[in-house]
Structure 1
Amino acid sequence: MSAAAPARAGAAVAVPTAASGHALGLRGIIKHYGSFTAVEDVTIEVGKGEFLTLLGPSGSGKTTLLMTVAGFVQPSAGQVLLDGRDITALPPEKRDFGMVFQGYALFPHLTVAENVAFPLRVRQVSKPEQASRVAAALDLVQLTRFAERKPSQLSGGQQQRVALARALVFDPALLLLDEPLSALDKKLRAELQEELKALHRRVGRTFVNVTHDQEEALSLSDRIAILNHGRLVQQGSPAQLYEAPRTRFVADFLGKSNFLAGTAEGGAPEGFTIRAGTTPLKVAAAARPAAGTRVLLSLRPEKVALLAEGEAADNIVPGTVESWSYLGSGFALVVATADLGPLRVNLSAWNAPFAPAEGLPVRLGWSAHAAVPVEEDAA
């Protein structure tokens, strides 16, 4: 849905500079529904021209937060700021935000061009200006030749691009995306991710996206805010969150991880050692826990190698292949170990040291830098 507001004179569909975006601030947002707290004290700053994704499982509060930004939900407490101006009480039609829904929300009886022109008609933009802007918007999403078709004559990916063109045609202050790719199959979703990322770079607008798809969040975003049970758990760049998760939930939700629990032993300038059963594990980390402290580590499956006989590594653990799957580009193994339990291991298929087989004895190895300490999640 595109909020109705007077069109800004001389506005263009695409301005390829982040300076044309607007800054969004969420300050202490709380939303109660009776005794249920959907969002609990969330503060997020979104920079001009940034692509922010709100990521979390179902019921995490991400859609409630997006609807609060759009103005469809009034927070119980907190402020929504646009370029520092408080718009918390401003109704949706006065916010001038573009929005793309999961189901596209196209008018089936209108052509593609008429769908894209709809926000301009609501804003009483002149017909010559409508034609110019619609043409520019359709060119932006590469749908010029489909202008006279009806939505039913388009593929799912094409319908999604029409929805994007309609949301951008009136030069919105922000573009809000509510699970925009979830209705598409995996291959088409991957293609649209690339197109959406390129579109964001071209238009220079501030995008706020909601998804539960981790790969989509990693692929599209400048920054990700991870929510769980209404709380903001961690925010940062995709690389920061993936490589340095702070909690078990973040490590487990954003990608896959092995969790290694042990007791801290001696520290050294370059890190410390934990002992899991009888197995010592070296960890390279700036913060060193006191001896005897319980430590939980996150170890990504792709950071574990199968070692050849005699090959060295900071950490070496023997095990037996319990199960394996061929994924085209690689193998996904589950390796049983005596002290660490089953460990997931991802191997590249083309240069795997040997073909996996159930019951095969292996030596696992990883660097002291591979595993990072994480906090257990609060109850």
Structure 2
Amino acid sequence: MSAPVAHALELRGLSKRYGSFIAVDAVSLRVDRGQFLTLLGPSGSGKTTILMAIAGFVAPSEGAVLLDGADITGLSPERRDFGMVFQGYALFPHMTVAENVAFPLRVRGLSRADRDARVRGALDLVQLAAFAGRRPSQLSGGQQQRVALARALVFDPALLLLDEPLSALDKKLRAELQDELKALHRRVGRTFVNVTHDQEEALSLSDQVAILNHGRLVQMGAPEALYERPRTRFVADFLGKSNFLQGTVREVGATGMALQAGATRLVQAGAAHPAPGRPALLSLRPEKIGLLAGAETAENEVAGTIASWAYLGAGYSLSVRTADLGEIRVALPAWRAPIAPREGLPVRLGWAADAAVPVLEDADAA
């Protein structure tokens, strides 16, 4: 395959309406050259419609699609020269692996010698050269996915578009192929745009994640930034698990604030806070909470009893009932858990002042 040429993609005010229904609502974003962007959101959030608009299969009602600054909104799909991997792979069952991969090259009129050389390179890239003579029915789901990737990359596309390419695989194989897809992205050096509703997949694969809900772009950023600093309750809740602690702001200082939730006082680090007397909402990840033993203390403490628990292999998941903060989920590493969990067991929870992050209610962020 030829030396990688990565391209930048930009969406400006992209909207798509079907009658009175707004599938995509004024979405603007940019994917830099060679980045891996994932469009993440629940069903009906608009992510697939955006991908189809990028590919040229859906005409936007408003807005523009730009490639390296040039407006390509009016270009037909074949003139955009984008590779695409569909959810069901869309392999031709009557063709061999090599013939499937060669198909886009035949359409483009390449000579037999050029086709053969490119197919060999593409199959080597996905480690399937030994399977060139097989048909799709003779391959596993993971191998079919890799054939679809090879076919999408064989003609050196300007972008690679991925429409939930791992969703048909079981959990273990999906995790393995996430690693392969990430390594493939590094090797080919091109710009990838992926669609998924799987949060772990988005965090694992992406340089940037765009979180969508009801057709709108809610927040976009690097996976770690989105997970650690969600802007809204929806983002915190959708991207992983979170506890939501509600209180009233009592004190505000240069480095943090104090909240009151019933008889419980909470301290929260950070610079931007509501004014005293205003309500505040904190997002607290379960893995950032510890169990306090004996005279051990923490900046934030609350007592409760274990309402339910589950053993997950690597850790325990606890649901702890508290008087002022409701039920709090706690994730504990199993190998060093300070207790043997059981329902009704009294426990003390503790977390640091910078463990939680203030978030907006979704209505307030609209």
The reply to whether residue 338 of structure 1 matches residue 304 of structure 2 is: no
1:288 Cα deviation after fit? 2.6
Q: How does 1:354-373 map to 2 (within 5 A)?
A: 354-373=339-358
Match of 1:286 in 2: 271
Match of 1:247 in 2: 232
1:14 Cα deviation after fit? 5.8
1:278 and 1:358 mapped to 2: Cα distance?
Answer: 24
Find 2:333's aligned residue among 348, 360, 364: 348
Q: Which amino acid counterpart does residue 107 of structure 1 have in structure 2?
A: F
Match of 1:303 in 2: 288
2:356 and 2:105 mapped to 1: Cα distance?
Answer: 53
Q: How does 1:173-188 map to 2 (within 5 A)?
A: 173-188=158-173
Find 2:64's aligned residue among 65, 76, 79: 79
Match of 2:73 in 1: 88
Match of 1:4 in 2: none
Q: Which amino acid counterpart does residue 254 of structure 1 have in structure 2?
A: L
The reply to whether residue 232 of structure 1 matches residue 232 of structure 2 is: no
2:223 and 2:261 mapped to 1: Cα distance?
Answer: 30
2:13 and 2:74 mapped to 1: Cα distance?
Answer: 15
1:365 and 1:100 mapped to 2: Cα distance?
Answer: 46
The reply to whether residue 198 of structure 1 matches residue 188 of structure 2 is: no
Match of 1:6 in 2: none
Match of 1:58 in 2: 43
Find 2:208's aligned residue among 223, 226, 232: 223
1:231 and 1:335 mapped to 2: Cα distance?
Answer: 35
1:234-293 CA-partner distances (Å, limit 9, x unpaired): 000000100000000000000000000000011122200111111010000111321001
1:13 Cα deviation after fit? 4.9
2:243 and 2:294 mapped to 1: Cα distance?
Answer: 24
Match of 1:104 in 2: 89
Q: Which amino acid counterpart does residue 174 of structure 1 have in structure 2?
A: L
The reply to whether residue 46 of structure 1 matches residue 36 of structure 2 is: no
2:220 and 2:30 mapped to 1: Cα distance?
Answer: 10
What is the TM-score when the length of structure 1 is the normalising length? 0.95
Q: Which amino acid counterpart does residue 344 of structure 2 have in structure 1?
A: G
1:354 Cα deviation after fit? 1.4
1:299 and 1:367 mapped to 2: Cα distance?
Answer: 10
2:102 and 2:2 mapped to 1: Cα distance?
Answer: 12
1:315 Cα deviation after fit? 0.2
1:14 and 1:89 mapped to 2: Cα distance?
Answer: 28
Q: Which amino acid counterpart does residue 243 of structure 2 have in structure 1?
A: N
SS of residue matched to 2:335: coil
SS of residue matched to 1:134: helix
Contact 1:13 1:203 in 2 (8 A): no
SS of residue matched to 1:350: helix
Match of 1:258 in 2: 243
- After superposing on structure 2, the runs of 4+ consecutive aligned residues of structure 1 that deviate more than 4 Å are none
Q: Which amino acid counterpart does residue 170 of structure 1 have in structure 2?
A: F
1:158 Cα deviation after fit? 0.2
1:125 Cα deviation after fit? 0.5
Match of 1:156 in 2: 141
1:166-197 CA-partner distances (Å, limit 9, x unpaired): 00000000000000000000000000000000
Match of 2:15 in 1: 30
Match of 1:130 in 2: 115
1:274-317 CA-partner distances (Å, limit 9, x unpaired): 11111010000111321001100000000000111110110010
Contact 1:21 1:49 in 2 (8 A): yes
Match of 1:165 in 2: 150
2:28 and 2:295 mapped to 1: Cα distance?
Answer: 51
1:217 and 1:349 mapped to 2: Cα distance?
Answer: 26
SS of residue matched to 2:362: coil
What is the TM-score when the length of structure 2 is the normalising length? 0.99
2:192 and 2:106 mapped to 1: Cα distance?
Answer: 24
Tell me how many residue pairs correspond in the alignment: 364
Q: Which amino acid counterpart does residue 190 of structure 1 have in structure 2?
A: A
Structure 2, unaligned stretches of length 5 or more?
Answer: none
2:307 and 2:220 mapped to 1: Cα distance?
Answer: 36
SS of residue matched to 2:336: coil
Contact 1:13 1:136 in 2 (8 A): no
1:170 and 1:62 mapped to 2: Cα distance?
Answer: 26
Q: Which amino acid counterpart does residue 65 of structure 2 have in structure 1?
A: V
2:31 and 2:225 mapped to 1: Cα distance?
Answer: 17
Find 2:252's aligned residue among 256, 267, 271: 267
1:311 and 1:298 mapped to 2: Cα distance?
Answer: 24
Kindly, what percent of the aligned residue pairs are identical? 73
2:112 and 2:247 mapped to 1: Cα distance?
Answer: 69
Match of 2:262 in 1: 277
1:2-60 CA-partner distances (Å, limit 9, x unpaired): xxxxxxxxxx3563xxxx21000100001110010000000010000000000000000
Q: Which amino acid counterpart does residue 74 of structure 1 have in structure 2?
A: A
